[in-house]
């Protein structure tokens, strides 16, 4: 155990540097923990424009152990949940609990005052497909080979991010443009890609014959499971969290085309899931049959496809234009 810092703010700093939080994640974690700093002090956290530049009150780290805090915190958290979307509230609660757990392990605090706060119900899936123009713009981003290959491997096979990130080099069949994955229950399934991914994969693998397909840029930390370490380079398998962070950061301006680059820190980008969602929606818009969509998505029921069968604005426009009586008459 190390000596406890004097203030909550210092404890946040120690957590962000000592708990192995990725540099790219530290900003989001700091924002969330700053919000909780207000509530740990028994005050409502500022929202909207007032949040910018607002500094939380200086409180000692052991203020978290105040026996009166859980009741006060529950009221403040409920009020905040009424003002914010469920995903944000749940993410902030998750971050707070991770930090509290780490502080407890250091012996700095004893209690978790968030214990009675429940996560908000997950909102219905309202994911919208990216347009084909947005997908085209994505391919023109100046990003590393690993990211470019990963994004192609998510879109072209319409694959789940977890499936692609779990691929090993030996799972690939480059000549057939397909790869082997394991479904729930251990059954073997196949994903199929196109020329875009096929051209990038040899450069990404660079002669490796085994180990995780997508790797981090550093040596794997001690204790990393053997299956998640490349035996030829010693680097670790790329995590879903890190892959998601990178994608979100790089797509902020694409997701907010009217925003200024100076505001990029305050913007939200796209999620990796939107690549799979978009691929299946574009297939549906192009007239792909239901059996083929089921095979592509590897869903067990047609009902699961409903979320993807939502044609976008451009597809509806094409549909209407193609059936315009005046246009058809001129032909």
Q: Is residue 36 part of a domain?
A: yes
Closest by CA to 12, choosing from 23, 1, 25, 31, is: 31
Rounded to 5 degrees, φ, ψ at 212 are -55, 140
Burial of 296 (0-12, 13-18, 19+ CB in 10 A): buried
Same domain, 192 and 89: no
Kindly report the three-state secondary structure assignment for every residue of 206-275.
CCCCCCECCEEEEECCCCCCHHHECCCCCEEECCHHHHHHHHHHHCHHHHCCCCCHHHHHHCCCCCCHHH
Which of 88, 106, 124 represents a domain boundary (last residue)? 106
Same domain, 274 and 235: yes
Q: How many CB atoms lie within 10 A of CB 69?
A: 19
CATH number at residue 198: 1.10.443.10
Residue 26 lies in a domain: yes
Q: Are residues 54 and 97 in the same domain?
A: yes
Q: Answer yes or no: do 230 and 149 share one domain.
A: yes
Q: What is the pTM of this model?
A: 0.60
List beta partners, residue 192.
178
- Please indicate, yes or no, if residue 330 is contained in any of the structural domains: no
The domain boundary residue, chosen from 106, 124, 151? 106
pLDDT digits (tens, 9 = 90+) for 266-300: 788 999 999 999 999 998 888 888 888 888 888 77
Quick one: how far is CA 298 from the chain centroid? 21
Q: Would 325 be classed as within a structural domain?
A: no
Q: Which of 89, 106, 123 is at the close of a domain?
A: 106
> Which tokens is 295 given?
């095979």
Task: Please check whether residue 180 lies inside any domain of the structure.
Answer: yes
pLDDT by residue for the chain (331 residues), tens only, comes to 678 898 999 999 999 988 877 665 677 788 889 889 999 999 888 876 666 566 778 999 999 999 999 999 999 988 888 877 777 888 889 999 999 999 999 999 999 999 888 888 765 556 688 999 999 999 999 999 999 999 999 999 999 898 899 899 999 999 999 999 876 545 688 999 999 999 999 999 998 999 999 999 999 988 888 889 999 999 999 998 899 999 999 999 999 988 888 878 878 899 999 999 999 999 888 888 888 888 888 877 777 677 666 666 676 676 667 666 766 555 5
**184: its two tokens:** 């729930």
Residue 181's closest CA among 164, 161, 206?
Answer: 164
Q: Is residue 320 part of a domain?
A: no
- The residues near 250 (Cβ < 8 Å, ≥ 6 apart) are 141, 143, 147, 269
Is 326 part of any domain? no
Look at the chain and report how many structural domains it folds into: 2
Residues 22 and 70 in one domain: yes
User: In which domain, by residue range, is 171 found?
Assistant: 132-305
The verdict on 77 and 151 lying in the same domain is no
Alpha-carbon span 250 to 155, nearest angstrom: 16
Residues 96 and 138 reside in one and the same domain:
no
Do 136 and 48 lie in one domain? The reply is: no
Asked if residue 314 belongs to a domain, the reply is no
Looking at the fold, whether 253 and 141 belong to one and the same domain comes out as yes
Helix (H) or strand (E) holding 192: strand 188-192
Same domain, 79 and 156: no
Query: DSSP state, 187?
Result: -
84 in Cβ contact with 91 (< 8 Å): no
Residue 122: how many other CB atoms lie within 10 Å: 9
Dihedral sign for Cα atoms in the order 13, 19, 24, 27: negative
Q: Are 154 and 290 within one domain?
A: yes
138 plus 223 within the same structural domain: yes
């Amino acid at each position: 155990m190390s000596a406890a810092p004097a203030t909550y703010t210092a404890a946040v700093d120690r957590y962000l540097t000592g708990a192995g939080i990725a540099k790219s994640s530290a900003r989001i974690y700091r924002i969330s923990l700053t919000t909780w700093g207000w509530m740990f002090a028994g005050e409502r956290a500022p929202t909207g424009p007032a949040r910018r530049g607002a500094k939380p009150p200086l409180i000692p780290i052991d203020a978290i152990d105040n026996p009166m805090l859980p009741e006060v915190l529950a009221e403040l958290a409920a009020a905040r949940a009424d003002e914010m979307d469920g995903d944000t509230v749940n993410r902030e609660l998750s971050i707070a609990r991770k930090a509290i757990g780490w502080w407890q392990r250091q012996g700095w605090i004893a209690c978790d005052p968030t214990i009675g706060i429940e996560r908000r119900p997950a909102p219905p899936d309202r994911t919208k497909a990216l347009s084909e123009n947005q997908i085209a713009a994505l391919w023109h981003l100046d990003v590393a080979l690993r990211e470019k290959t990963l994004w192609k491997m998510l879109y072209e096979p319409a694959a789940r991010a977890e499936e692609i990130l779990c691929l090993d080099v030996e799972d690939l069949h480059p000549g057939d443009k397909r790869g082997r994955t394991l479904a729930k229950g251990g059954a073997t399934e196949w994903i199929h890609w196109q020329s875009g991914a096929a051209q990038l994969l040899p450069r990404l693998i660079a002669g490796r014959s085994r180990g995780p397909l997508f790797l981090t840029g550093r040596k794997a930390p001690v204790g990393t499971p053997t299956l998640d370490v490349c035996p030829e380079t010693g680097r670790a398998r790329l995590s879903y969290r890190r892959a998601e962070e990178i994608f979100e950061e790089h797509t902020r301006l694409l997701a907010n085309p009217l925003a200024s680059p100076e505001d990029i820190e305050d913007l939200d980008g796209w999620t990796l899931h939107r690549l799979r969602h978009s691929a299946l929606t574009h297939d549906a818009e192009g007239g792909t049959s239901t059996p083929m969509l089921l095979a592509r998505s590897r869903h067990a029921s047609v009902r699961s496809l409903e979320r993807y069968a939502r044609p976008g604005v451009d597809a509806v426009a094409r549909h209407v234009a193609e059936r315009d009586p005046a246009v058809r008459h001129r032909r």
